[in-house]
Amino acid sequence: MNNKIMVSVFGLFLLAGCAGSKSASKSDVPDLYLNPPNYEDKFVGVGDALRPQLSLSKTVATARAKAEVSRALETKMSTMVKSYLQASGLGADASALEFTEDVTKSVSSTTLKGCIIDKTEIKKGRVFVLVTYDATEARMQAKEATRNAAKKQEALYNEFKASQGFDALDKEIEGMKTSSSVCLLYTSPSPRDLSTSRMPSSA
């Protein structure tokens, strides 16, 4: 009997919580966030935040936008390096894995430092930020990261030089696309399910 009462009370709280929650409408979210632009010469990231202080909201939103670009480039470089190492027969040992991790960490670090704020909008106290990262700079830093990571391991470095591995990776990096650089994080349900739009974060 007591269990039934507890379940009923819990159900009422659950229903009340669902009834009280609201999804953000499209009018509350700027276009720069709903539909981030695609640039041929820039990587793009967007972020948002709602904090008690406007300055803190901008700081958090900017950090989230930069993190999106960083994650996207990390993924691109990790996939690229792993594919090359496997194709060349160097991808199975620990040194190759360490090399891949060093490259992606370096790329992530330089990306976070290299992103600049492109646009900022405020809707009902929430700050939305769009950042960009120059593609030429990104490619140059990625090339440098592969060389610096390889130098930490003499055998791997010599193998790269002997097999012209750096040239091969450079070509892959030069072909790295800026499209799909934004890693979208959705709430549930996402407005994209209804209108190809994304929801802002919950805080």
Q: pLDDT value at position 130?
A: 97
> In sequence order, what are the beta bridge partners of 130?
46, 119
Q: pLDDT value at position 201?
A: 65
Nearest to 58 by CA among 124, 121, 111, 112: 121
Using CA atoms of 101, 104, 105, 107 in order, give the dihedral in degrees to the nearest 10.
160
Tell me the three state secondary structure of residue 200.
coil
Q: Where are the domains of the chain?
A: 38-176
Alpha-carbon distance 3 to 24, whole Å?
36
Q: What six digits make up the tokens of 54?
A: 């406007």
Domain 38-176 has CATH 3.30.930.10: no
Least confident piece of the model among 61-70, 120-129, 161-170:
161-170
Could you tell me the sign of the dihedral formed by the alpha carbons of 22, 26, 30, 34, in that order?
positive
Alpha-carbon distance 167 to 186, whole Å?
38
pLDDT value at 137 more than 90:
yes
Please state the pTM of the whole predicted model. Answer: 0.75
Residue 76: burial class (beta carbons within 10 Å; 0-12, 13-18, 19+): buried
50 in Cβ contact with 126 (< 8 Å): yes
